[in-house]
Amino acid sequence: MSKRKKLRSDIAWSDASKIVVRGHNLVELIGTTSLGDFAFLELTNRLPTPEESTVFDAIVVVLVEHGLTPSAIASRMTYLGSPEALQAAVAAGLLGIGDRFGGPSEEVAKMLQNAMTGGGEDINAMAADIVAGKRNAGRPVPGLGHPIHRPTDPRTKRLFEVAADNGFSGRYVSLMNAVSEEASRAFGRALPVNATGAIGAIASELGFEWRVCRGLAVIARSIGLVAHILEEDREPLAPEIWSRVDEEATEHMRSETTDERD
Amino acid sequence: MSKRKKLRSDIAWSDASKIVVRGHNLVELIGTTSLGDFAFLELTNRLPTPEESTVFDAIVVVLVEHGLTPSAIASRMTYLGSPEALQAAVAAGLLGIGDRFGGPSEEVAKMLQNAMTGGGEDINAMAADIVAGKRNAGRPVPGLGHPIHRPTDPRTKRLFEVAADNGFSGRYVSLMNAVSEEASRAFGRALPVNATGAIGAIASELGFEWRVCRGLAVIARSIGLVAHILEEDREPLAPEIWSRVDEEATEHMRSETTDERD
Amino acid sequence: MSKRKKLRSDIAWSDASKIVVRGHNLVELIGTTSLGDFAFLELTNRLPTPEESTVFDAIVVVLVEHGLTPSAIASRMTYLGSPEALQAAVAAGLLGIGDRFGGPSEEVAKMLQNAMTGGGEDINAMAADIVAGKRNAGRPVPGLGHPIHRPTDPRTKRLFEVAADNGFSGRYVSLMNAVSEEASRAFGRALPVNATGAIGAIASELGFEWRVCRGLAVIARSIGLVAHILEEDREPLAPEIWSRVDEEATEHMRSETTDERD
Amino acid sequence: MSKRKKLRSDIAWSDASKIVVRGHNLVELIGTTSLGDFAFLELTNRLPTPEESTVFDAIVVVLVEHGLTPSAIASRMTYLGSPEALQAAVAAGLLGIGDRFGGPSEEVAKMLQNAMTGGGEDINAMAADIVAGKRNAGRPVPGLGHPIHRPTDPRTKRLFEVAADNGFSGRYVSLMNAVSEEASRAFGRALPVNATGAIGAIASELGFEWRVCRGLAVIARSIGLVAHILEEDREPLAPEIWSRVDEEATEHMRSETTDERD
């Protein structure tokens, strides 16, 4: 028989009279702890300071709602087919929060954290290394520029203000700004920090491992997707999108067939 | 060509310089609005009062973390196979927040809201109708009793206190308590209100349509699942669970084969 | 410590030199067993006869591809966001194969199987009971009529022919046809058996429990969804659908804002 | 208004009397086309030759069932929570067919196809390049060795036989075998081709783009997962796994608490 490794989790336990989450009696948290603070506790194993609480809520709030995204459309389409399972419609939407939409803030945080653990002291030198590395690999620098929000992303300034007001504008924020300056110079066009870049930098200031960033996007988006599904339940878009897409995309095959019949 | 129905969504929009969510300029919400309040805004189209904020956070917080549930195990198993896609592991876990784990608070809220819109005045008569209806259908009354938390669910008392302290202990809470008393009498054993029952009643006090309750469970659980996946990343349980389950469940087929060989 | 229930599964096992699936040495099945026959083995614990094989493949083949369905659109949207995880895009599409699109053949099979286990002998009496039951409940009879395929669903005739040619046109097929006649009379308009109705009846002839029908839809659709994702990878539709839907659905909010500015 | 790109899909269309899939009238395929051949048609836009049919079925059949994998456990866990939505349980299982379990055959095919399009003629030189590349990157060569099937994977020999018997043992199979020999030499231990390696090579022989391989795994596994869910419905494993895992993994927290109370 195989040697067994003891199973062990340190998150929560309960018995007949007690529920303990991250070392806290759940009952004592009810009514005193906000949803954001509870999320911070779950992710870090301790409750946040008031400053951490404000900054954490700020970055997660930005990720909740981005309008009729591919993810929201996928949720609405799924709800049309499986009205019995709202959880499936939310899950379908979350499945699109990957490399393209949930990944970038993760990528920013990883880029900044790797640079920082590289042990250098000079922020500008790190920024130059980062930009050169991406440029040589023919890849864009994550966290810069935006297809719609031009010339600057209105969220960035506010996120950096909130971080600074609460003591979280340190080396990661400096490095992100230095990367923006360096990239603008290297690529010869304005590449300001976007919301994703700000979130990746601020999450790093809060001490979150880069991997957490995709998780924050997933948590936040689950809220937005529930809102979209509830709206879909009252005023459906999915049937109309379905019929328009199907009609237009298959039109050429119908007419070819008609021609053949002539 | 087919008649077209105009597509319309009232949740959010953005242009080059502005992002508007539920009629609010997003930038003005960053740093001033908690995650729970932003979720309330998304779901109800307005920011909560301080009392609503406290009560909303209280019921959602309770739903975040229930330990090594089937849902958490499914997430951990999925992360083992698809480490590239944390969003897929969260989604896999959420897919189990259905009729059995996400459904009960929805069922409670539906039961209470249907009774109330029935238009009666007498809470006790409504409770008697509800219990008789479930009893005749041979179905349990949702929101009562608990397999582990005995004799009473420690969360219920605290949730009802927080609701009362903030002015949300009205007719739905009364009806839920009346259902508990009536069911205890009818079934001849103590059937106290559990956390699910309290959440269904309090969500109704807050004005949420019953359908929202499953959504609240999904939102809350997404936080807990990210925490489980991050722990799984550092201290994996999935490989050990896999090998134990596979070994034990297929043992009888191996030994049958060995017998045949003799 | 809790009493333990032995874990036991009878599907498959393997050791260093052997893989056994449903009692068969996998290596002996490779190159001799078709995909459909292997699926039949997985679901029923035995290989099909040639007739069962033909009929099984016939009903599953019909479920593979229905064009640009909500499910296919959800897959394509998800692939846009998570190109790293094709499995997530397939899963998102499958999540829409629920009560509305995967459920009907399940519902037909359940309806026919419940009627048959009711023990009656008279097919027409059973049909009358079924139709009266649905009518009294104000619900449509599943498996009849079609919004597009009029006056008749071209798949039905062929599916019933294949079933008859292979000895699977028995009491379930008769009952489904009797339900169609009875419903047409009762509702005063032609309600021919559609593909879903034929599949539910033929799956019952093959001895499948009704619950399997939704599973057949899920299996078949996974093939179609992979085809859609591969096409999406080469000729993407998702970005265009996204921009059109977002633009049209949020237009009214933009113009309201413009008005305010004037 | 934005310029519109025409939506176009070439997979399927239907009207009142006809359903056309990949240029074929669906009704003519019912009863004449096996599930595997229909899948081949969906993925390649043409029906297979008899030889292609045999080889395609052979590689997909191998991917259907691997026993109580993490994926099967995730499906069973999800079904416990959401019995109303079998599609969600299948989807949860498929979400684990990623980089670790669905990825390797994809990785093999990509490795072989990239080497071949590199334009060389000498198989051994290509193999040496591949192995050196992986070795320098400190990464294992995909498609070689197996943790359980030792010394050789019993599926490999049979898969290569079926491929050879049907004329699909060409340059990709040769390259895969050369990679195995080269890697065994370079790493100083036997590294025979495993089933994944054989599938990646044979899929390449069939002309499939590497990306299709993960899709084949997803298609095949959906069959196996439905079988596991049907067994779970009759003989549940999930509740027992849940209670064992939760009890063992949280034991240390319970006893710490007891100590504190003393």
Tell me, letter by letter, the H, E, C secondary structure of chain A: CCCCCCCCCCCEEECCCCEEECCEEHHHHCCCCCHHHHHHHHHHCCCCCHHHHHHHHHHHHHHCCCCCCHHHHHHHHHHHHCCCCHHHHHHHHHCCCCCCCCHHHHHHHHHHHHHHHCCCCCHHHHHHHHHHHHHHCCCCCCCECCCCCCCCCHHHHHHHHHHHHCCCCCHHHHHHHHHHHHHHHHHCCCCCECHHHHHHHHHHHCCCCCHHHHHHHHHHHHHHHHHHHHHHHHCCCHHHHHHHHHHHHHHHHHHHHHHHHC
In a domain, B124, yes or no: yes
Last-in-domain residue among B212, B233, B250:
B212
Which residues, in sequence order, are CB contacts of D122 under 8 Å at separation 6+? none
Last-in-domain residue among D196, D212, D228:
D212
The helix-helix angle for C238-261 and A70-81 (nearest 10°) equals 110
In chain B, what is the greatest distance between 2 CA atoms, to the nearest angstrom? 79
Q: Supply the pLDDT for residue A99.
A: 84
In a domain, B94, yes or no: no
Pick the residue from chain A with its C-alpha nearest to D12.
A250
Q: Supply the pLDDT for residue B149.
A: 86
In a domain, A225, yes or no: no
On the CB side of D95, CA atoms within 13 Å amount to 42
In a domain, C174, yes or no: yes
Residue C227 near residue C65 (C-beta atoms within 8 A): yes
Distance CA D71, CA D223 (A): 12
A143 touches chain C (CB under 8 A): no
Q: What is the mean pLDDT of residues C6-10?
A: 96
Q: Please, which chains are in contact with B (at least 3 CB pairs closer than 8 A)?
A: A, C, D
Strand A24-25 and strand A19-21: the pairing is: antiparallel
What CATH number should be reported for the domain holding residue B108?
1.10.230.10
Nearest CA to D91 out of B60, A124, B201, B91 is that of: B91
**Using a CB-CB distance cutoff of 8 angstroms, which residues of chain C are in contact with residue B248?**
6-8
Res C17 pLDDT > 60: yes
The first and second tokens of residue B68, run together, are 């090594």
SS3 assignment, position D31: coil
Task: Determine whether the interchain pair C14/D149 forms a contact, defined as Cβ–Cβ distance below 8 Å.
Answer: yes
Q: Hey, what amino acid is at D105?
A: S
B255 touches chain D (CB under 8 A): no
Find the CB nearest D73 among B77, B88, B100.
B77
Nearest CA to B68 out of D252, C7, D236, D258 is that of: D252
Pick the residue from chain D with its C-alpha nearest to B85.
D98
For an interface test with D, give the residue of B65, B79, B94, B95 to mutate (most D CBs within 10 A).
Answer: B95
**pLDDT tens digits, A91-119:** 999 999 988 887 889 999 999 999 999 77
Res C215 pLDDT > 60: yes
In chain D, the number of structural domains is 2
Task: Determine whether the interchain pair A212/B223 forms a contact, defined as Cβ–Cβ distance below 8 Å.
Answer: no
Q: Supply the pLDDT for residue A261.
A: 37
Q: What is the mean pLDDT of residues B68-80?
A: 97
In a domain, D259, yes or no: no
Distance CA C142, CA C113 (A): 14
Res D261 pLDDT > 60: no
In a domain, B188, yes or no: yes
For an interface test with D, give the residue of A4, A7, A45 to mutate (most D CBs within 10 A).
Answer: A7
User: Which strands make up the sheet holding C24-25, listed edge to edge?
Assistant: C12-14, C19-21, C24-25
Place of tokens 């809102």: A227
The pTM of the whole model exceeds 0.90: yes
**Cα-Cα-Cα-Cα dihedral sign, residues B27, B29, B34, B35:** negative
**pLDDT tens digits, B201-231:** 999 999 999 999 999 999 999 999 999 999 9
Higher pLDDT, A8 or C261: A8
pLDDT category of residue A3 using cuts at 50, 70 and 90: low
Task: Determine whether the interchain pair D92/B80 forms a contact, defined as Cβ–Cβ distance below 8 Å.
Answer: no
Nearest CA to D86 out of B5, B20, A26, C215 is that of: C215
Distance CA C235, CA C232 (A): 5
Find the CB nearest A250 among D13, D85, D248.
D13
Q: Which domain holds residue B121?
A: 103-212
Nearest CA distance, B97 vs chain D (angstrom): 6
Task: Determine whether the interchain pair B91/C91 forms a contact, defined as Cβ–Cβ distance below 8 Å.
Answer: yes
Average pLDDT, chain B: 93
Higher pLDDT, A2 or C27: C27
Residue D36 near residue C223 (C-beta atoms within 8 A): no
Task: Determine whether the interchain pair A98/C81 forms a contact, defined as Cβ–Cβ distance below 8 Å.
Answer: yes
Burial of A100 (0-12, 13-18, 19+ CB in 10 A): middle
Same domain, D27 and D127: no
Q: Hey, what amino acid is at A141?
A: V
In a domain, A20, yes or no: no
**pLDDT tens digits, B107-144:** 999 999 999 997 778 999 999 999 999 999 999 999 99
Alpha-carbon distances of B70 from B235, C55, C203, D235, rounded to whole Å: 18, 37, 32, 16
Alpha-carbon distances of C52 from C36, C44, C46, C163, C205, rounded to whole Å: 10, 12, 11, 9, 10
Q: Supply the pLDDT for residue B257.
A: 57
pLDDT category of residue D108 using cuts at 50, 70 and 90: very high
Pick the residue from chain C with its C-alpha nearest to A70.
C77
The first and second tokens of residue C211, run together, are 């619950």
In a domain, A166, yes or no: yes
CA angle (A103 as vertex; A102, A106 as ends), nearest 5: 110
**pLDDT tens digits, D122-151:** 999 999 999 999 999 999 999 999 888 888
A70 touches chain C (CB under 8 A): yes
pLDDT category of residue C259 using cuts at 50, 70 and 90: very low
Q: Hey, what amino acid is at D17?
A: S
Task: Kindly state the helix (H) or strand (E) to which residue B19 belongs, with its residue range.
Answer: strand B19-21
**pLDDT tens digits, A156-200:** 999 999 999 999 999 999 999 999 999 999 999 999 999 999 999
Same domain, B36 and B109: no
